[in-house]
Structure 1
Amino acid sequence: MLEELELRDLGPIDSATITPAPSMTAITGETGAGKSMLLNALRMISGGTADASRVASGADQAWAQGIFALGERDPLRAMLAEAGIPVDDDGLFLSRSVPAKGRSRSVLCGKSVPRSLLGEVASNLITIHGQTDQLRIASVARQREFIDAYARDDKARESFNQSYEKYRSVCERLRRLQTQESSMRQQADYLRDSIARIDHVDPHDGELEELMDQRDRIEHAEQITSGVEHALAYLDASQFESAEGAAGVGQLIAGAVQSLRGIHAVGDYEQLAERLESAGAEIDDVVFSLSRSLDADGETGNLDSINGRIHDLNELAQRWGPTLADVLQWRDRAKIDVEDLDASPEQLHSLEQERDRLRDEAIARGRALSKARTDAANALSAQVNRELGQLAMSGAKLDIVVTPRNGEGMLDATGIDDIEFLFTPFPGSASLPMGKSASGGELSRLMLALELCAADSSQESDSSQNASAGMTFIFDEVDAGVGGKAAVELGRRLAKLARRNQVIVVTHLPQVASWAERQYVVSKETGKEGTHTTVREVSGGERVREIARMLAGSESKTSLEHARELLHESEIE
């Protein structure tokens, strides 16, 4: 919901701020006063094309900002979070500046963003129905979305989408096998050769490091043996015949421990003995390890054989590594890829059968979806046509045609049908696509009828994710060519739509403006500094006088009484 719209230096308006009502707001004023600038401000923050000619004379830039309230569970929050746009309790801020020269700047909650993102966000908040605006459901995709929302066919669409996704996945795999058969054979041959080479060497994880350690020991065997023997000679001379009778470190420490424990005087001799005893145990462990090392290093091995094995393993690591673990993982993945790349006739035939089965399944579910759309199209057409009769468009009609496709290309991601919204403005006229067969005012009233029907459908099922629920609708020229009782009915229906959505209408009809909860008047004022356009809210007696002016062009007693009566009667029961 739009909570506030502010603009500066846009056309004849130096500055203005409006706070629309949650329900219906009317924008009124004399012709040429500048009401269109408020619409231009909304188009600006909706990502519309920048027009430097709208910058006020003498100003550097035009600027507009809209503040919108979002519900806690509004799906737009997830979209904004993904784009890195923070949204707090103060609302969602959309602003746009258009300089007299240069590029425009789009801002979301204080963060500069591409104009396309501003437009995408605004499309979930604002719908403008006017002659110069693209219709919300002018495209085939939007029309299908509108019908699906009206039909409340979520289950049928989900069922179809699941079937179609399976069908599309198999088609893609089959296409890959068929169109890339030659390159895939080459890839399969390469994978098979690589797998065979790895299997021939038959490495195991960590083997390269083990062999390099073994080679290092062999190459330095004499140095290692000499060093270890000398160390052992110092630590435990009893292991060598040449040192028979010599005391080792362990024996010396044991003697020291015994001597300390023989002291019976006061002191920490017992603690020192325990420390020496602990050191002796550690030295014994070192002696044991060195002895085992000496025995192991005595086994020399074939150095040439080891170097050859290291060479083979290094080649594997360089090609498919960097480690042997990586090589083994690559081989396992390659075996799986070879199975997919081997486009055998049996495999192709099996995939073709699977594709045909899934296609038949998707078409069957598509037919169920198409029936739901057809039923909804018939109901919506009838309901819209009844609304048009109440909106001074007697004889006009909307035909929503759901046409099932045939042939090879009947199935796509949207289903198996084509949808068209065809409008006939008067009896005997040709039925043409929306946007090509009606004036701006007729299109606005047609869109009002559609939005009313969508709102009714949403009200029937609160769980429905109706496309129009909670939107801010802007109507311009909706009252063109309307008067009398039809004008009153037009206002009543706008107010009805405003029960569940926010509605802002630019109107010159008092019978429409009187239904609004809040009214703003755009007027020209001439002073010492020239002529300026102002925007102000009118209420109470001031609003009565504005309605009287719209009725009779004056504030006579009769027109004022008529205005009060009109405002009193303009209430939905």
Structure 2
Amino acid sequence: MLIELSIKHFAIIDELTIPFEKGLTVLTGETGAGKSIIIDAIGLLLGGRGSAEFVRHGEKRAEIEGLFSIERSHPIVKKAIELGIDVQDDMFVLRRDITAQGKSICRVNGKLVTLGILREIGSALVDIHGQHEHQALLQAEHHLGMLDSYAKDPLGNTMTEYKQLYERANQLEKQVKHLSHNEQEMAQRIDLLTYQLNEINEAKLEPDEDRSLAEERFKLANSEKLFQSLKDSYANLYGDGKGLDYLMNAMIHLEEAASVDKNLQSLHESISSCYYVIEESTYAIRDQVDSVEFDPNRLDFIEARLNDIQLLKRKYGEDVEEILEYASKIEEELDTILHKDDRVLQLQKELDMAWRDLYVEAKAITNIRKKAAEKLTKAIHKELKALYMEKTVMEIRIEDRTPTKNSPMIDGKSVSFGLDGIDQVEFYISTNPGEPMKPLSKTASGGEVSRIMLALKSIFQSHQQITSVIFDEVDTGVSGRVAQAIAERIHSIAVGSQVLCITHLPQVAAMADTHLYIAKFEKSDRVKTSVTPLEVNQKVDELARMISGVEVTDLTKQHAKELLELAEQLKEPV
């Protein structure tokens, strides 16, 4: 749940810190006081689209910070740990700064994160329901996602398998299309690949050749220095009065000393061993001196060869290994194109098999959706009955996606595959007995849409591990007993969890466990927003204002008291 929200320099809000409790919290106040601005701030905190316009005029940045408590078993904890975010005491601190230039800085538990990560974590903590969701309910393209959200658990593994097969089928289809391009494009590709392959093959490259040639070039270019160094080294070791001579004399003297003192025998053996090793190395140096030669022709050849290799590197790779790998790759592509008819036939067989395998998974998904649709329909009817729509009949229709001219044929039937299967889903409704079922988008009124969406929220809450739910004026277009039913349903969602609700209905406000009054005032020629938790007497006054709209009378206050008393009775456990 959201424990505390801090807002600074955001729109008309100068600085606010709002603590929240479990249960139902309602936000009321005059139009324009800043109720929706608070919800907008929460939306940005959860990864919503930011803008420099949100920054209060004259300030450098807007700052929004929220403290959330969660269950340790919540899946977002594991996700956060994988992302390197430290989670302590089962708490998340989300922070979003927006600069006057429109740049966003996002943090989770003090760690800088991308907006995408903030959005992923935020969406798992809070579900904001506003007018845009009413619009989504009226758009058939969103209905499939709503059904899949309800069927998430049984659908999970099957959908994962389907998407893997779908990706493979798409790759095979791309390969078939690529090899089926027009003859002119294929001929041009063959010419290009043939030229490149011949150029590389004519070079007769050897693995690691560029490095070995570079080493040889360096050696040849410094042959005079090498010859002189080796010659001087040999001269210092071999000859009368040179290194080996002195070492020989030392060995002889130590041999004499060891004949007197046997403890010196090991030292004599050590010097003797060194002498023979150095003697052997001296002869090796002499051989190296004899082998050193300066060959200008060989140096010219190496320079030319390295230049040719460098030209190939500019076209085909950073070193000889990459050039040879590229040659192997284009040789395989060239062979495929030259034998494309055979290859296309082979790929087409694989593609046909992939479509069939995909169709099997797609039908399994359809069956899962149909079972889920039956359960969801029953649950919706139950919820709608409690919202005084007992005569309403809902139906979730699942039909095949409309095929296109490029859709594959399976068992003589054209099948249109999508990333989420072969189904298209649409909600149908009949609001009065005897009337035919019609698409929801063409039938429902604003008040009916509000109740249907609230019914869906009530159902989906048990399928989503959301810590908090926010309703932003979901009671649009309702009044009377329907308003009371909505109030009771919202409160039932809040039992054991947390619901924040902006409302203009006194029935909803009366059911609140916590009532926050939002007001704006002027100070130092600037508009500011305040949030005040209401006590019982203050609740009566606010409900009376909501009932009367203009003038608060004793009668409206009495009505407000009755609403609060009724709400307390309804909240008592049966």
TM-score range, shorter chain: 0.7 to 0.9
Structure 2 partner of 1:65:
64
Give, in whole Å, the separation in 2 of the partners of 1:452 and 1:550.
26
Measured after TM superposition, the shift of residue 284 of structure 1 is 0.8
Structure 2 partner of 1:243:
none
The residue type paired with residue 64 of structure 2 is: Q
Structure 2 partner of 1:473:
470
| Maintained 8 Å contact 2:217/2:303 | yes
> Aligned to 2:418, which of 412, 423, 428?
412
Structure 2 partner of 1:4:
4
| Maintained 8 Å contact 2:137/2:449 | no
Give, in whole Å, the separation in 2 of the partners of 1:157 and 1:475.
33
| Maintained 8 Å contact 2:541/2:557 | no
Measured after TM superposition, the shift of residue 280 of structure 1 is 3.4
Measured after TM superposition, the shift of residue 391 of structure 1 is 1.3
Give, in whole Å, the separation in 2 of the partners of 1:282 and 1:340.
61
2:191 alignment partner, SS class? helix
Structure 1 partner of 2:500:
504
Give, in whole Å, the separation in 2 of the partners of 1:306 and 1:490.
91
The residue type paired with residue 425 of structure 2 is: I
1:160 aligns with 2:162: yes
Measured after TM superposition, the shift of residue 129 of structure 1 is 3.4
Structure 1 segment 97-246 matched on structure 2, within 5 A = 106-109=104-107, 123-131=123-131, 135=135, 142-151=142-151, 152-179=154-181, 181-194=186-199, 196-199=201-204, 205=209, 208=213, 228=231, 235-236=237-238
Sort the Cα spacing of 1:21 and 1:105 in 2 relative to 1 into closer, same or farther, 3 A: farther
The residue type paired with residue 23 of structure 1 is: G
Give, in whole Å, the separation in 2 of the partners of 1:31 and 1:214.
86
2:202 alignment partner, SS class? helix
The residue type paired with residue 415 of structure 1 is: G
Deviations 1:218-259 (A, max 9, x none): x879x959985x97677555xxxxxxxx78764554234434
Give, in whole Å, the separation in 1 of the partners of 2:252 and 2:12.
110
Give, in whole Å, the separation in 2 of the partners of 1:4 and 1:272.
82
Gap runs ≥5 in structure 2 = 408-415
Structure 1 partner of 2:312:
319
Higher mean Cα deviation, 257-266 or 491-500? 257-266
Measured after TM superposition, the shift of residue 414 of structure 1 is 1.9
1:285 aligns with 2:280: yes
Structure 1 segment 371-390 matched on structure 2, within 5 A = 371-390=367-386
Give, in whole Å, the separation in 2 of the partners of 1:353 and 1:212.
55
1:445 aligns with 2:451: yes
| Maintained 8 Å contact 2:25/2:512 | yes
| Maintained 8 Å contact 1:441/1:477 | no
The residue type paired with residue 471 of structure 2 is: I
1:69 alignment partner, SS class? strand
> In terms of Rg, which structure is larger?
1
The TM-score normalised by the length of structure 2 is: 0.73
Sort the Cα spacing of 1:312 and 1:172 in 2 relative to 1 into closer, same or farther, 3 A: same
Give, in whole Å, the separation in 2 of the partners of 1:537 and 1:28.
11
Sort the Cα spacing of 1:88 and 1:178 in 2 relative to 1 into closer, same or farther, 3 A: farther
CA RMSD of aligned residues (A): 5.1
Structure 1 segment 541-552 matched on structure 2, within 5 A = 543=539
Measured after TM superposition, the shift of residue 448 of structure 1 is 0.8
Structure 1 segment 485-504 matched on structure 2, within 5 A = 486-499=482-495, 501-504=497-500
* Structure in which a larger fraction of residues adopt helix: 2
Give, in whole Å, the separation in 2 of the partners of 1:507 and 1:22.
18
Give, in whole Å, the separation in 1 of the partners of 2:32 and 2:216.
92
1:91 alignment partner, SS class? strand
1:153 alignment partner, SS class? helix
The residue type paired with residue 160 of structure 2 is: E
Deviations 1:252-284 (A, max 9, x none): 542344346656999x99999788656634541
Sort the Cα spacing of 1:160 and 1:249 in 2 relative to 1 into closer, same or farther, 3 A: closer
Give, in whole Å, the separation in 2 of the partners of 1:216 and 1:121.
63
| Maintained 8 Å contact 2:8/2:62 | yes
The TM-score normalised by the length of structure 1 is: 0.73
The residue type paired with residue 159 of structure 2 is: R
Sort the Cα spacing of 1:248 and 1:226 in 2 relative to 1 into closer, same or farther, 3 A: same
Structure 1 partner of 2:362:
366
Sort the Cα spacing of 1:571 and 1:548 in 2 relative to 1 into closer, same or farther, 3 A: farther
| Maintained 8 Å contact 1:198/1:331 | no
The residue type paired with residue 166 of structure 2 is: Y
| Maintained 8 Å contact 1:106/1:113 | no
Give, in whole Å, the separation in 1 of the partners of 2:228 and 2:6.
90
Higher mean Cα deviation, 416-425 or 12-21? 12-21
Measured after TM superposition, the shift of residue 145 of structure 1 is 2.5
Give, in whole Å, the separation in 1 of the partners of 2:529 and 2:566.
30
| Maintained 8 Å contact 2:473/2:504 | no
Deviations 1:12-38 (A, max 9, x none): 876554333233212245677664554
The residue type paired with residue 27 of structure 1 is: L
| Maintained 8 Å contact 1:45/1:65 | yes
